[in-house]
Amino acid sequence: MTQQTKYKRVLLKLSGEALMGKDAFGINRDTIMQIVGQVKEIVDLGVQVGVVVGGGNIFRGVSAQAGSMDRATADYMGMMATVMNALALKDAFESLGLKARVQSALSMQQIAETYARPKAIQYLEEGKVVIFAAGTGNPFFTTDTAAALRGAEMNCDVMLKATNVDGMYTADPKKDPSATRYETITFDEAIEKNLKVMDATAFTLCRERKLNIVVFGIAKEGALKRVVSGEDEGTLVHC
């Protein structure tokens, strides 16, 4: 860890929607390059980065797209969507000269390694970005839960949840101009105020493992670097 950074190893949670930019669906190349450019900034500082990405820009098991489809089948389709996003991220990282590996919770050896904790930790220690795809590999669990699980397994210092707003607010800042951003908030306070940081399973796992969460806006240039440098960026959810 360098003197410039607060965290040595982080788990970055990206939603699939974060890759869309202003498009209606799919992957926007300019947006994905902006995101990986921010990741490169912190890797260059010596921070080890794992990434969990969702698949909502392509298919989400609980979406209207799934209709009356069997939930487990729909969730597996959503997991495969995350693999597509993970491959796109890997390609974007490598175009910037970063070494990246995709590990999938579902076995698909032709395109991604099967998730293996010791190998993932080795890659992180070597300075490679590890992209964890296919969620937990099980239906009925979200990619938020996968992020909490991988963050705990990788012994990460913090989970960084990238969103389309620059933190957690007292009210919806788009609807209430008087809403103020929380700089820090405890897990208990977030529950009491019914602030939807992430789904309950993921939130409970982070709380139990004392894995703090920083909620921040990935669209803000340099935001990720400011977070890992310990600056006042986003909202820190802590024990």
Bridge-partner residues for 235, per DSSP? 215
Query: Residue 100 in 3-state DSSP?
Result: strand
Query: Do the annotations mark residue 188 as ligand-binding?
Result: no
Query: Do the annotations mark residue 163 as ligand-binding?
Result: yes
Query: Do the annotations mark residue 209 as ligand-binding?
Result: no
Query: Do the annotations mark residue 203 as ligand-binding?
Result: no
Query: Do the annotations mark residue 164 as ligand-binding?
Result: yes
Query: Do the annotations mark residue 155 as ligand-binding?
Result: no
Query: Do the annotations mark residue 140 as ligand-binding?
Result: yes
Half-sphere exposure of 38 (CA within 13 A, CB side): 24
Query: Do the annotations mark residue 5 as ligand-binding?
Result: no
Bridge-partner residues for 2, per DSSP? none
Query: Do the annotations mark residue 70 as ligand-binding?
Result: no
Query: Do the annotations mark residue 194 as ligand-binding?
Result: no
**Which residues are CB-contacts of 35 (< 8 A; sequence separation ≥ 6)?**
14, 18, 19, 89, 92, 162, 218
Query: Do the annotations mark residue 37 as ligand-binding?
Result: no
Query: Do the annotations mark residue 56 as ligand-binding?
Result: yes
- Return the closest-CA partner of residue 15 out of 225, 215, 229, 226: 215
Query: Do the annotations mark residue 91 as ligand-binding?
Result: no
Query: Do the annotations mark residue 46 as ligand-binding?
Result: no
Query: Do the annotations mark residue 139 as ligand-binding?
Result: yes
Query: Do the annotations mark residue 73 as ligand-binding?
Result: no
Contact 168, 181 (CB under 8 A): yes
Q: Give the annotated binding-site residues for UMP.
A: 55, 75, 136-143
Q: Give the annotated binding-site residues for ATP.
A: 13-16, 56, 60, 163-164, 169, 172
Q: Give the annotated binding-site residues.
A: 13-16, 55-56, 60, 75, 136-143, 163-164, 169, 172
